[in-house]
């Protein structure tokens, strides 16, 4: 009798092997084995750890001001995308100005992001949602680094600043964050929401009527001239300076921005929001955003909106930037949690409601 005779695998053994493989795949996807996987809940937990939990408010950019207006497309953007938003016409928008941080009662005198979020509706029933910052780059390129950043920059209870023993090794391991800090230290910090340029941060895929696909970043460039806050005296700025300024400005008239679509050149980095595109680029002026009214978020139309930047119309799609999927999951998790907590009016907007009612 041969000693190397093979014993056939029975059907039950085969079924058992398949079950084990499926269980292993599930465990990997859940992050129980192998490489750690981070979900939207992990991001929200990190934001809560950094800035504290404020029930009913967004976990990031908690302090906001709603606005409404229109986007007047001039038709030029149709050269890059079949999205209805680029066809000549006027489309209603609802949006939100905000500043970075998870505390809705925080002061405006901080050298941090100023942001604009938009929801643009078109007659074909589609939506284009955007979440933009006033900086052309983002401090991190992936969700794991974002979570680590929130933990490293948690303010010390005594000093109000991050613990150097935690921050220094983090910066050593994340030179892109140090580069962003250096940029923020030198860049002008806008003294109004109305005079800042707002950038898409991530690249997106645009498809035209011929099926040609291109990677694009966009920016809303203000009609108002950029002027900056005095960074040396930010701690003396009134708590709600930016919000009061925008309310007063809008009471006098509308604010406008030009939408510029910037097409990637060969060799541009499209999967890292930490890297700016430099040098000449094909740029198309696609139309004008006009903001005509503002209102405190606690009672405004933007309060219950999720400005998930991956909700896109036909003709605009995602790029290879991993931050996009992470942003979508985090926005969804934040929205679900604050909706369950209740998001009624609070002291954070009481003074602003009085002013806009005048």
Q: Catalytic amino acids?
A: 61
Angle at CA 332, nearest 5°, toward 259 and 126?
45
- Beta strands in the chain, from DSSP E residues, in sequence order: 63-73, 89-99, 114-121, 127-133, 198-199, 204-207, 213-222, 255-263, 283-296, 316-318
β-partners of residue 129 are 119
Residue 350: how many CB atoms within 10 A of its CB? 11
Q: Please check whether residue 209 is in contact with residue 82, taking contact to mean a CB–CB distance below 8 angstroms.
A: yes
Q: State the sign of the Cα–Cα–Cα–Cα dihedral 263, 266, 269, 270.
A: positive
Distance from C-alpha of 14 to C-alpha of 162, rounded to nearest angstrom: 55
Enumerate the β-bridge partners of residue 221.
258
Residue 292 region by backbone torsions, left for phi larger than 0, else alpha for psi between -120 and 50, else beta: alpha
- CA-CA distance, 202 to 324, in Å (whole number)? 7
Distance of CA 296 to the CA centre of its chain: 20
Q: How far apart are CA 217 and CA 203, in angstroms?
A: 5
Alpha helices in 253-309 (DSSP H): none
Give the Cα separation of 259 and 221 in Å (integer). Answer: 6
DSSP conformation letters of 15-42: HHHHHHHHHHHHHHHHTSSSS----HHH
Give the whole-angstrom CA distance, residue 102 versus residue 291: 25
What's the sign of the alpha-carbon dihedral 165, 166, 170, 171? negative
């Amino acid at each position: 009798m041969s000693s190397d005779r093979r014993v056939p695998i029975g059907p039950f053994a085969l079924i058992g092997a398949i079950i084990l493989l499926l269980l292993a795949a599930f465990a990997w996807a859940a992050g129980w084995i192998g490489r750690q996987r981070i979900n939207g809940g992990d991001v929200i937990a990190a934001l809560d750890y950094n800035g504290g939990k404020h029930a009913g408010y967004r976990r990031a950019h908690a302090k906001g001001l709603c606005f409404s207006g229109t986007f007047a497309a001039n038709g030029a953007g149709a050269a890059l995308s079949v999205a209805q938003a680029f066809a000549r016409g006027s489309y209603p928008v609802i949006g939100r100005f905000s500043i970075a941080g998870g505390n809705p009662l925080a002061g405006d005198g901080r050298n941090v992001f100023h942001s604009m979020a938009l929801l643009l509706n078109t007659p074909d029933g589609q939506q284009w949602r955007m979440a933009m910052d006033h900086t052309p780059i983002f401090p991190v390129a992936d969700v794991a680094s974002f979570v680590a950043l929130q933990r490293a920059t948690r303010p010390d209870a005594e000093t109000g600043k991050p613990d150097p023993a935690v921050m220094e090794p983090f910066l050593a391991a994340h030179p892109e964050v140090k580069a962003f800090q250096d940029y923020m230290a030198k860049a002008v910090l806008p003294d109004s929401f109305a005079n800042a340029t707002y950038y898409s941060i991530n690249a997106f895929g645009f498809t035209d009527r011929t099926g040609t696909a291109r990677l694009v970043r966009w920016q809303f460039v203000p009609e108002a001239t950029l002027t900056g806050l005095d960074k040396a005296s930010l701690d003396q700025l009134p708590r709600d300076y930016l919000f009061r300024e925008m309310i007063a400005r809008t009471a006098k008239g509308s604010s406008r921005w030009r939408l510029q679509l910037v097409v990637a050149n060969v060799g541009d980095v499209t999967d890292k929001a930490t890297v700016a595109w430099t040098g000449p680029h094909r740029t198309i002026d696609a139309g004008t955003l006009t903001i005509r009214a503002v209102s405190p978020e606690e009672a405004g139309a933007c309060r219950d909106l999720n400005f998930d930047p991956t909700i896109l119309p036909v003709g605009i799609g995602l790029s290879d930037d991993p931050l996009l999927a992470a942003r979508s999951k985090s926005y969804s998790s934040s929205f679900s949690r604050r909706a369950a907590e209740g998001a009624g009016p609070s002291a954070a907007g009481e003074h602003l409601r009085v002013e806009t009612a005048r």
